[in-house]
Chains A and B, each alone.
Chain A
Amino acid sequence: KAGVTQTPRYLIKTRGQQVTLSCSPISGHRSVSWYQQTPGQGLQFLFEYFSETQRNKGNFPGRFSGRQFSNSRSEMNVSTLELGDSALYLCASSTGGGETEAFFGQGTRLTVV
Chain B
Amino acid sequence: GQQLNQSPQSMFIQEGEDVSMNCTSSSIFNTWLWYKQDPGEGPVLLIALYKAGELTSNGRLTAQFGITRKDSFLNISASIPSDVGIYFCAVPGKTGSARQLTFGSGTQLTVLP
Contacts and interface: CB of A to CB of B under 8 A. Distances in A.
Interface residues of A, number: 29
A100 B31 contact: yes
Chain B: number of interface residues, binned into ranges:
20 to 34
B85 to A, nearest CB: 13
A98 B96 CA distance: 7
Given A56-B94, A100-B33, A48 B44 contact: no
Contact of A100 (B1, B40, B41, B98): B98
Interface string A46-68: 00101000011011000000000
Contact of B98 (A43, A50, A58, A94): A94
B101 interface: yes
Interface residues of chain A: helix, strand, loop or mixed (majority)? strand
B82 interface: no
A59 B2 CA distance: 12
Interface residues of chain B: helix, strand, loop or mixed (majority)? loop
A102 B98 contact: yes
Contacts of B102: 45
Interface in B15-71: 31, 33, 40-45, 48, 50
B73 interface: no
Nearest to B43: A104
A42 B93 contact: no
A81 interface: no
A42 B105 contact: yes
Contacts of A50: 99
Given A4-B42, A33-B100, A48-B100, A100 B92 contact: yes
Given A48-B99, A97-B97, A102-B101, 13 more contacts: A31-B99, A33-B99, A42-B105, A42-B106, A50-B99, A92-B98, A94-B99, A99-B98, A100-B31, A100-B97, A101-B48, A106-B40, A106-B41
